Amino acid sequence: MTGKSQLGDFLQARRSQLRPEDVGMPTYGERRRVPGLRREELALLAGVSASYYTRLEQGQSLSASPEVLNSIAGALRLDESERRYLHDLALADRHGTRGRRPAPERVTEAARQLLDVLADVPAVLLGRRGDVLGWNRLGHALFAGHLDPGAPDLSAQRPNMARLVFLDCHTRDLYADWPSKARAVVGNLRLVAAQHPQDTALHALLGELSAKSGEFASMWADHRVKACTVATYEMRHPLVGPLTVVQQTLSQGPGSAMVVATTEADSSSRAALALLAQAINQDINQVITQDTVPADPARPAPRADIG
């Protein structure tokens, strides 16, 4: 997987997804053998020669200037995230993509303090590849209550959100509109892959997901790019039932981000989160009681009811 092949593949994919009528180009009723714009049509819209655009799409030119890339981005009607992605691919193309082992990702003290402060809001700290670096109790209970809460503290056992979304049945069932969540994960990974073309661990993750999930491979081949800083999802939690959350991604410096899930005030979703928090506290209190009070055969077992 190289920046050069990704650049050509991205241009070809986006060109094929843009119809002549989308850009006001007449077709005079002709039947086309392939979907989308032809190379010469896209080159005309971008104001470059057809031969130059062909070389660029085929990976035979490494010298596209920012101005030319912006013209092509305009012709393809790319949004801001896609435009930045196009420039990242071209930069990776010029500088090469020799792989290297990435530095370990760690949780900063500031991030730990933020997780603690957000006790009443589900929060998860993610590395750039989607590895879970940390979470608060409510974040763990909402997103991955079936996993060991201490897993993020062990680098070899850290959950990865992309793996969970595509390979974990619990997480798949958690989202009512799973394809929407899955596309958001893939779109974000594409942005990261263009920004860090030398990250061998990231390429290994992409290869694993492509091999184990046909749905991931199909979405990855679609070349959709999406920066999901704010997104609304309907969730179906196995403990507290349906709820709608707004997942907001807050940057925590280079590579890492805090994902928090908020709910509308005075809503059933807010009540569901409160119920989940109550269940967590009951479990904690039950563990403390079992650890500190001697067992009494005559005492009935504590109830685990919620509410």
Task: Quick: pLDDT tens for 31-74.
Answer: 777 778 999 999 999 999 999 999 998 888 777 889 999 999 99
Instruction: Report CA torsion sign: 143, 146, 152, 158.
Output: negative
Quick one: pLDDT at residue 306? 41
Quick one: pLDDT at residue 302? 43
CA distances from 236 to 3, 97, 165, 186, 249 (A): 39, 41, 14, 22, 21
Please, are residues 249 and 130 in contact by the beta-carbon 8 Å criterion?
A: no
- For the cut 80, the answer to whether the pLDDT of residue 117 exceeds it is yes
- For the cut 80, the answer to whether the pLDDT of residue 94 exceeds it is no
Range in 92-96, 107-111, 163-167 the model is least confident about: 92-96
Q: What is the mean pLDDT of residues 245-273?
A: 91
Quick one: pLDDT at residue 292? 47
Please, are residues 107 and 46 in contact by the beta-carbon 8 Å criterion?
A: no
- The candidate with the shortest Cα–Cα distance to 57, out of 12, 1, 15, is 12
Quick one: pLDDT at residue 284? 57
Output phi, psi for 242, to 5 deg.
-75, 145
Work out the percent of the chain whose per-residue pLDDT is above 70.
Answer: 86
Which domains, from first to last, does the chain contain? 3-95 (1.10.260.40), 109-283 (3.30.450.180)
Q: What is the mean pLDDT of residues 109-130?
A: 92
Mean pLDDT taken over the chain: 86
Task: Quick: pLDDT tens for 149-160.
Answer: 999 998 888 999
